[in-house]
Amino acid sequence: MKVLSLGKRSVAVLAAVGLAVGGTIVSAHAATAPTYIDCQLFSAGEPDFIDPALTSTLVGANLATMLFDGLTDTDASGNLYGEVASKWVTKDGAKTWAFTLKKNLKFSNGEAVLPSSFVTGWKRAFAASMASEVAYHSYFIAGMEEYNTGKGGWPSASVVADDSAMTLTIKMVNPTADWPSIVGHSVFSPIPTTMASASSKVEEDGTKLVGNGPFMLEKAITKRAGGEVVIVPNPNYGGKAPLLSRVTFKISSDVNAAYNAFASGQCDNGPIPAGRYTELLTKWGTKGVKTTLGTDYWGFNWEDPTVGGTQNKYLRSAISKAIDRTQISTVIYQGVRKPASGLLPPGLPGYKAGQGLTSSRDLNGAISDYKRWLALGNKTPAPIRLSYNDGAGWDKVASIIIANLKDVGIPAKLDPYPADGTYFSKMRSGKGQMIRAGWFADYPIADNFLFPLLHTKSIDGDNLERYSSVTFDALVDSARSTTNKSFAQSQYRRAEVQALRKDVALTQTVNRGIATVLAASTTSFPITPLGMIAFDQIVKN
């Protein structure tokens, strides 16, 4: 009871800081299973989409995965398992994948989930007119990029559905050993025939969003701050039924408002406002803190005359060793984001600790590396620009790094860019020096980090550093084209070491994590490494 009284006391204080979003507390339910009110998921404004074909944000995808089951999924321990698919095989070295589907699965409207349901879903999701931001995940499939850009018709030869045999056969552009993981992305969800022609604005009338997941939408969505999304168990669900009779997601205009709604007892969970982790974790406990598949890092512009190229390796290693990751973790994230030791985050299949140059501060090493760099004929550089997109708190991280670098004698300064779009487009075109970046896994595979972030083919894309290494590219390419999992894993590890330790193309700072405050009644709150809260597995007393 001590915890409860503490909680009650802080209610009024915190409710004061921002007005709690309106709404009433749903009283004890007549149904046997408890109901659940979530203030965490949509705590930073309204969701973009919850339509699986369109959503590009973690929060939207989280809800989409509750409404739609794909072929595969990742569980809370990071293991891949079949959701609609019962098994999958490739006979030609990952060029073609055949999925066998479970029988007797149904959409919430009673329609059977068949291989052709995936064809229906994909035709919609990847159509040019939908203009889905996440449609590019389909480019692994032969002919799908042409379909998506309007240059070709539906690649019926690449996606073959056999409803009688319950098989779905998919032909890839290149050998893709990780395809079973990739296809777990929510954009590959099946849809019933009733949704085949639903437009991108189907959410304006949410009841048309019909899925095959453990939950279904109870009512039309009011996607705005102050509104809520309500899901109830799907009566036709073929898998394990959720333990909750209803989940209500409250949409708040900002994190403070959402936290206040939680603190005033309106919800069963809530987010933690930035900078208040320590204070709040002591109040609410650490049940909701979990590391997720994301890494923050600072990249070095490979083409920059001061920090780029092989000749400036010692300056980069000096910077990397100088950074106090523990300080960043504790001062800014108060331990929710932990110091990272490599680019791949813990929890990712194939993760190995210590792949980066260092995870702890090595001031002497930094000083001696800097001296070696100066000994090569370099002079003290003009302040190194730490570029970042403004307004998201990166300035504080950058400030710490500048202070860290000062101890070594390396001058540095802040270089903020106002809007995200401007920032990333400038960085992509090589305007940065030290580039603030981060990556969150789309699917739990090493390739999802290494290829887009560091491969030469990703320059102008997500390879903001414009890093180009023949060795690295060869290692990744060889890993991509093999079906030998252990060989692929070792190649990816060698590639990571090449980029982070040998070339120091980037220096990782912290691994991302999610911190949720939970009411005492919540006894189990599973979050997958991809950051998805498994609402169907939440246990509430």
Partner 1 sequence: MFTYTIKRLLQSLIVVWAAVTLMFALFFIIPGDPISLKSGEKSLPPGILANITAKYGLDQPTYVQYFRFWGHLFKGDLGYSYKNDKSVNTILHDGLSTSARLLFWGALLQLIIALTVGLTSAIKRGSLGDRIGTIFTVGIQGIPVFVSGLLAQYLFGVLPFQMHWDWLNFFKPWPQSWTAGVIPTDSWKGIILPALVVAVVDAAFIARMLRSSLLEVLRADYIRTAFAKGLSARRVWFHHALRNAMIPVVTVYGTSLIAIFGVAVQTEKVFSLPGMGSTIADSALSQDAPVVLGLAIVVIAFGAVVNLVVDLSYALIDPRIKIDSKAVH
Partner 2 sequence: MSEFEQIPQSLSYWQDVRARFFANKISILGLVMLVLLIFIGIIGPFISGWKYDELGPDILSAPFQKGHWFGTDDLGRDLFTRVTYGIRLSLTVAIIVTIISVFVGVTLGGLAGYFGGWIDTLISRFIDTWQVIPFVLIGFAIITVFGSSFWVIVAALVFTGWYSTTRLFRASVMQVKSLEYVEAARATGATTKRIILRHIGPNAIPPIIVVLAFSVAGAILSESVYAFLGVGFREPTPSLGVMISGSRNFLTEKPFVFFIPGSVLVLLTLSIVLIGDGLRDALDPKLRGVK
Q: What is the rounded CA–CA span in Å between residue 220 and residue 230?
A: 9
Q: How many residues bind partner 1 (CB under 8 A)?
A: 59
Verify binding: residue 422, partner 2, rule CB under 8 A: yes
92 scored as a contact of partner 1 (CB under 8 A): no
Q: Does 283 bind partner 2 (CB under 8 A)?
A: no
130 vs 534, which CB is nearer to partner 1? Answer: 130
Rg, the chain, Cα only: 24
Given candidates 252, 266, 334, 468, which one binds partner 1 under the rule CB under 8 A?
A: 252
Q: Does 200 bind partner 1 (CB under 8 A)?
A: yes
User: What is the separation of C-alpha 310 from the centre of its chain, rounded to a whole number of angstroms?
Assistant: 32
Q: How far apart are CA 169 and CA 495, in angstroms?
A: 32
CA dist 446 → 18, 88, 442 (Å): 41, 20, 10
Angle at 274 between CA 269 and CA 277, to 5 degrees: 65
Q: Choose which of 65, 108, 148, 212 interacts with partner 1 (CB under 8 A).
A: 148
Q: Is 279 in the site for partner 1 (CB under 8 A)?
A: no
Give the integer Cα–Cα distance in Å for 55 and 189: 12
Q: Which of 333, 370, 417, 439 binds partner 1 (CB under 8 A)?
A: 439
391 binds partner 1, rule: CB under 8 A: yes
Phi, psi for residue 14 in degrees, rounded to 5: -75, -30
Q: Which does 400 bind (CB under 5 to 8 A by kind): partner 2, partner 1, none?
A: partner 2
Question: If you write DSSP's letter for every residue of 73-111 in order, what string do you get?
Answer: EE-TTS-EEESSEEEEEESSSSSEEEEEEPSS-B-TTS-
What residues between 227 and 256 interact with partner 2 by CB under 8 A? Answer: 256
Query: Residues near 106 by Cβ (< 8 Å), separated by ≥ 6?
Result: 112, 113, 212, 236, 237, 238
- The yes or no reply on residue 6 touching partner 2 (CB under 8 A) is no
Cβ partners under 8 Å of residue 422, min gap 6? none
Nearest C-alpha neighbor of 478 from the set 466, 490, 496: 490
With H, G, I as helix, E, B as strand and everything else as coil, classify residue 232.
strand
Task: Verify binding: residue 135, partner 1, rule CB under 8 A.
Answer: yes
Q: Which is nearer to partner 1, 200 or 378 (CB)?
A: 200
Question: Is 196 an interacting residue with respect to partner 1 (CB under 8 A)?
Answer: no
* Count of residues engaged in binding partner 2, rule: CB under 8 A: 25
Judged by CB under 8 A, which of 399, 481, 490, 537 binds partner 2? 399
Piece of the chain touching partner 2 by CB under 8 A; list 32-40, 84-92, 206-214, 413-421: 413-421
- Of 11-19, 131-139, 140-148, 359-367, the segment contacting partner 2 by CB under 8 A is 11-19
The reply on whether position 226 binds partner 1 by CB under 8 A is yes
Residue 25 buriedness (CB in 10 A; 0-12 / 13-18 / 19+): exposed
In the bound state with partner 2, the residue whose beta carbon lies nearer, of 93 and 393, is 393
CA nearest neighbour of 249 among 272, 236, 266: 266
Q: Which of 54, 61, 166, 280 binds partner 1 (CB under 8 A)?
A: 54
Distances (CA, A) of 426 to 84, 302, 378, 440: 42, 15, 27, 21
Q: Which of 43, 186, 256, 509 binds partner 1 (CB under 8 A)?
A: 256
Nearer to partner 1, 178 or 362 (CB): 178
Part of the chain binding partner 1 (CB under 8 A), chosen from 144-152, 376-384, 393-401, 474-482: 144-152
What is d(CA 286, CA 338) in angstroms, rounded to the nearest whole number? 14
Give min distance, CB of 400 to partner 2, in A. Answer: 6
SS3 386: strand
Nearest approach, Cβ of residue 541 and partner 1 (Å):
27
Strands 290-300 and 506-514: antiparallel
Which residues would be at the binding site for partner 2 (CB under 8 A)?
Answer: 13-14, 16-17, 256, 273-276, 279, 331, 390-391, 395-396, 399-400, 402-403, 414, 416-419, 422
Residues at the contact surface with partner 1, assessed by CB under 8 A: 12-13, 15-19, 21-22, 45-49, 54, 128-133, 135-136, 139, 145, 148-150, 200-201, 203-204, 223-227, 252-254, 256-257, 260, 391, 419-422, 424-425, 428, 437-440, 452, 460-462
